Amino acid sequence: MFSGFSLKSGQNEDAEESVCTHPEERNHNLSEQTGQKCLFRVHPSVSQALAENKPVVALESTIITHGMPYPHNLSTAKEVEAIVRAEGATPATVGVIDGEVHVGLSSEELDHLARSKSSLKVSHRDLPYVISKGLSGGTTVSATMIAARRAGIPVFVTGGIGGVHRDGENTLDISADLTELGRTPIAVISAGVKSILDIGRTLEFLETQGVCVATYGGSRNFPAFFSPQSGFSSPYQVCNPEEAAKLIVSTLSLGLQSGVLLAVPIPEEHAAAGQMIEEAIQAAVTEASDKGVTGRDVTPFILQKVSELTAGKSLQANIALIHNNAKVGSQIACALSKQTTERKTRRHGQHSSDSESDIVVIGGINVDFIAKGRTKTLHFGQTNPGSVCQSFGGVGRNIADSLSRLGHKPLFISATGADSHSEAVLKYCEHMNTSGVARLEEQRTATYCAVITESGELGLGLGDMDVHQQITEQYVSRFEKQLSSATLVCLDGNIPISTINYVCSIARKHNINVWYEPTDSDKACKPFLSDAWKSLSYSSPNLAELCTMNKTLGIPTPEVLPNSLEEVLSVAVALSRPLLEHLHCLVVTLGASGVLLCGEHDAGSVNLQPRKQKRRRKLCAVHYPALTVTAEETMNVSGAGDSLAGALITGILQRRDTDSCVRMGLLAARLSLASPHPIAPTLTLDSVDPNKAQTQCWPKPSFMWID
């Protein structure tokens, strides 16, 4: 027998139902609630592009607030955004307005920053203060990198980065841009560093920080902003957008917590004035030193003085340089987007279209920690001897995994954080179609910890499941085409009620079969709070979940669940009857007592094949005893019910007879219980083929009529 385990995951996979923002607002809007306001706001055009995996280019705003005088600053900012759009990418200019970091600025917000006389220069160190005081300012390279990273933008274009100042070995005047490049995986496209800095020491410092530096174009010469040559060479060189994109992909794929600096030389036609500008820079540096200008005031002082000494030619060269960087950076962002999309397509085997996914599974994805004690009882408040292993679960993920191993290609729709747990679980799920899984910044990947006794009983379960509330109606609606053409859609109870209602409305409209896995007794009620449940075809509750479904519909249920098998079956049949007015079949999982199928009678059994036409049916129930699994054999209790569901669905879609479908499910559940993983890696069609599996004689099912 199943050692007392329910044939379900039994996981409490999310917190209470809560009001959720749109995925655009939580995935890329980073509306990080502090109780009063959100710290990051993402422009709708940017969040939409990110959601659709389209290229986005981040842009800094100190060039607007401190780099150029008005109106040149405003016109340049708008010209740069126009160049980005012309190259096929979406611009995301970053700035701080009234204590909120904006990723993507409206025309009015650009104008506000350009005209402001009180805007601050906001670097990494300044962000907390500026936000706490509700101030406004232009973001430097380091602050822009932080915002771009948190929004999920991998490409950032600027004019030039900061560096090690001259005499920096004594003053330790080193730009925060360099340390940010060493800890933030962003590709920064710039014209190198200004010649007012110590370029040699800047390159050495970047090497120490682990930053990959490459010159873009036909030479390895490292540019010095106004000049294509600084006298130093980059370690590497990339010749075109495709090579640059491959370098970025490699950096991100390795999981390195450092950035890439791509140095783009100023166009030759504007480099001619470089020598004159360099002479003006040297004069400005001397004057700054004589006047005691230090720290963050040095750069704007020198830029203003150089503009005066060159009669505006430095400003023209500066604008041309920024325009060129924007063009090159946008081309790199487009190439990166294309390569990323192609990698995902190859990974999921979707060489033509997503229409290959005839099944859609929507639900949770978790990182599970299973702790099994070595004693019959667990003593709380002290360390118990045992073993702990990590695996990857989640009801929706488990069912999609099971189906994938049994020969299907289900599209799995879910949400994770953008963290190491997410990277690990998606790597593990490479055999699945996870193109519908959103990776959300500022969210934690769901984790679940189950503590079981030596005898196999679940002692305690803890879950951090808030991210499941981000599987919203708005996010899932992006896959409406796949939903409306699916053979079957499977939902787990972790997703929000509004999402369940939306999917059920699609199913009703297109006559799609829906399988609802209620997950636990608290979530079982979700479809039954409205008429959505009438669009379900199948559901696989345990007895407690079946009670919840009935209670939600106002149907009396037992105060205490029965213990004897005869009473359990009687109650399960009685509670199934009202639901079968609309559902085609109920698969009631009874743990050690096996499985009870309730539905339409057909040739002495329950008909599992869906009937499209509504008509009065003769109802029956068939009880299948469980297969034997000893306590010593039991390693994991979190995926048996999901394995059962996946194998049952497979049998139904293969149009097998009812006995074969159920036996496939029971064999899959037994494999799961004996595996450290919720879904056994050994699960195959052959391993659950009742005619091939090595098992004892199949227990005879018992039949009963439903009034």
- Can you say how many angstroms the Cα of residue 686 is from the centroid of all Cα atoms in its chain? 34
Catalytic residue among 60, 81, 441, 473: 60
What is the token pair recorded at 152? Answer: 């999920």
Q: What are phi and psi of 181, to 5 degrees?
A: -60, -30
Beta-bridge partners for 254? none
- Is the CB of residue 467 less than 8 Å from the CB of residue 395? no
Nearest to 393 by CA among 141, 167, 636: 636
Q: Cα separation of 491 and 502, whole Å?
A: 11
HEC string of 487-548 equals: CEEEEECCCCHHHHHHHHHHHHHHCCEEEEECCCCCCCCHHHHCHHHHHCCEECCEHHHHHH
Query: Is 278 an active-site residue?
Result: no
SS3 call for 452: strand
How far apart, in Å, are the Cα atoms of 403 and each of 229, 490, 590?
Answer: 58, 11, 22
Phi/psi of residue 131, nearest 5 degrees: -70, -45
CA distance 279 to 12: 69
Please, are residues 519 and 493 in contact by the beta-carbon 8 Å criterion?
Answer: yes
Structure tokens at 360: 């859609």
Give the chain's radius of gyration (CA, Å): 31
Residue in the block written with tokens 């599209």: 411
Tokens of 29: 């809007």
Which residue in 8, 13, 25, 194 is the catalytic one?
194
Q: Of 615, 597, 616, whose CA–CA distance to 607 is shortest?
A: 597
Helix/strand/coil for 414? strand
How far is C-alpha 152 from the chain's CA centre? Answer: 10
Is 60 among the catalytic positions? yes
Considering only CA atoms, which of 242, 246, 241, 262 is closest in space to residue 187? 262
Q: What letter would DSSP give residue 699?
A: P
One-letter identity of residue 615? R
58 strand-pairing partners: 92, 156
Other CB atoms within 10 A of residue 460 CB: 12
Alpha carbons 89 and 662: distance in angstroms, whole number? 52
Angle at which helices 658-673 and 640-653 cross, to 10°? 150
- 223 Cβ contact partners less than 8 Å away, ≥ 6 residues apart: 191, 192, 215, 229, 230, 263, 264, 265, 266
Active-site amino acid positions? 60, 194
